[in-house]
Structure 1
């Protein structure tokens, strides 16, 4: 069998990204839009996870939010199949 030692060609498409912000009071924003309840958030996550190439999730918690709100968003995303998750904005916690 021939062996291909060439790296795969670089993709020119940027990955789709869902930006989730969790505000100080636990309010979740999906790409800047307020999510009214957990059911709506999970419905959106389930639809996103069913795409041929599921999007990345960039999660940015507010510095003052209780961790339980962030953990609930993380748990829902993972349970529903969104496994490419990045925490962003961590520099705000450096102080």
Structure 2
């Protein structure tokens, strides 16, 4: 019996290149980029909203407090994701 590792990137670990490439490809085809619960300072993830804005994507940030990414947001919703997301889902349904 060995240990199983979840499919996540822990702090201090690099994001696999294929995952990052896939994220940027996905953003190129999206209309709305939701940025949820991030400090906005850890790279390369912090560059994702900027990449979206530079391609004229709408960026919405959901976070308990403003971050360095706030200046890139078209919409900023202040609050915990656990509180805000169910309200958004309810409105969309």
* Higher RCO (C-alpha under 8 Å, 6+ residues apart): 1
TM-score range, shorter-chain basis? 0.3 to 0.5
TM-score by length of 2: 0.36
Larger gyration radius, structure 1 or structure 2: 1
TM-score by length of 1: 0.36
Point out the structure with the larger helix share. 2
Point out the structure with the larger strand share. 1
